[in-house]
């Protein structure tokens, strides 16, 4: 493992990898061109890191706000999660604004959910408000999935702007089942595989849940008690898992925040630890000799490299398998 960008100090400096700075980054996402996008949460910015490590600001003034606009004329309030589609369009869970924002490649920001707009007014469901969304994913059809954290639900926003409940009923719990029959407990990270299955970091249940395209929820790995045990399915354990990513082979990567580790789950549910000693730290090196300090976000690029938003270290780390 190595440091991809950031010097470890709190700041919002752009520039080359070793000169750039972040402030409590919560999530990372990769596009098809190898760019890495960063939810630089405490700075209220969305940053972009080129494949060679040069950091720029894609959008955000740095001030708390909810203004739409281009580049630094837009504003956010603790954006905690983001994802990128195949065209380089970035979708942001603007958490403390309880909004979902969309950023075009030129940096133009618009709000697509959480605020009743004239365009969306004809859809009754769009008046359903979000409450601190903490996870986001987009499929190849343009459907956006959101982990509605405080409401313990997964919402779906169609390309025409209609927002509906996809799974969960608003009650806290860990029930598997179809759609509204299932329950979650403060769900956070989301990720989609190539067949349309949605994976959920069910943070306070310490589980990874799986939702099929037709809305059937099951427990993929983990159980209610905190732990750091590797194993298959419910024999494995996590501690407040957050960010998720899926590679081309269907492996799921988990930012296991409470354990300061990055975990891997194979398609048949076998969990292993690929990086992190479990202790707080910022050491680089081979897999289990390296250390993190509250890694909240994770993404995988097209060649299989893993990038981690190392929140407390204010760094983007890179794992090459």
DSSP-based three-state secondary structure for 137: strand
Identify which of 171, 168, 176 has the alpha carbon closest to the alpha carbon of residue 146.
Answer: 168
Per-position pLDDT tens, the chain of length 321: 999 999 999 999 999 999 999 999 999 999 999 999 999 999 999 999 999 999 999 999 999 999 999 999 999 999 999 999 988 999 999 999 999 999 999 999 999 998 655 544 454 444 457 899 999 999 999 999 999 999 999 999 999 888 999 999 999 999 999 999 999 999 999 999 999 999 999 999 999 999 999 999 999 999 999 999 999 999 999 999 999 999 999 999 999 999 999 999 999 999 999 999 999 999 999 988 999 999 999 999 999 999 999 999 999 999 998
Pair of tokens at residue 65: 């706000």
CB atoms closer than 10 angstroms to residue 45: 25
- The phi, psi pair for 139, rounded to 5°, reads -95, 180
pTM for the model stands at: 0.95
The answer to whether 169 touches 185, Cβ cutoff 8 Å, is no
Distances (CA, A) of 78 to 2, 75, 124, 298: 27, 10, 28, 18
């Amino acid at each position: 493992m190595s440091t991809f960008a950031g010097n470890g100090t709190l700041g919002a400096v752009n520039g080359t990898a070793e000169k750039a700075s972040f402030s409590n980054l919560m999530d990372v996402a990769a596009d098809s061109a190898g760019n890495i996008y960063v939810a630089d949460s405490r700075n209220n910015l969305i940053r972009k890191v080129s494949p060679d490590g040069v950091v720029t600001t894609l959008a955000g003034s740095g001030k708390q706000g909810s203004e739409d606009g281009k580049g630094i004329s837009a504003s956010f309030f603790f954006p905690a999660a983001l994802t990128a589609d195949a065209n380089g369009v970035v979708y942001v869970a603007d958490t403390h604004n309880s909004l979902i924002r969309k950023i075009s490649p030129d940096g133009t920001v618009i709000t697509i959910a959480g605020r009743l707009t004239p365009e969306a007014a004809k859809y009754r469901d769009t008046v359903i408000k979000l409450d601190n969304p903490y996870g986001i994913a987009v499929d190849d059809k343009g459907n956006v999935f959101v982990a509605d954290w405080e409401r313990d639900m997964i919402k779906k926003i169609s390309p025409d702007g209609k927002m509906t409940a996809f799974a969960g009923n608003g009650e806290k719990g860990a029930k598997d089942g179809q759609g509204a029959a299932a329950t979650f407990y403060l769900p956070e990270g989301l990720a989609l595989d190539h067949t349309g299955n949605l994976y959920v970091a069910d943070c306070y249940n310490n589980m990874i849940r799986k939702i099929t395209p037709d809305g059937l929820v099951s427990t993929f790995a983990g159980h209610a008690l905190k732990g750091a045990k590797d194993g298959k399915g419910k024999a494995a354990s996590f501690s407040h898992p957050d960010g998720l990513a899926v590679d081309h082979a269907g492996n799921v990567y988990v930012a296991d925040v409470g354990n300061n580790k990055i975990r891997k789950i194979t398609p048949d549910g076998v969990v292993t630890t690929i990086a992190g000693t479990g202790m707080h730290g910022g050491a680089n090196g081979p897999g289990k000799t390296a250390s993190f300090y509250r890694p909240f976000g994770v993404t995988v690029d097209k060649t299989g490299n893993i990038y981690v938003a190392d929140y407390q270290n204010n760094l983007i780390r890179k794992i090459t398998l």
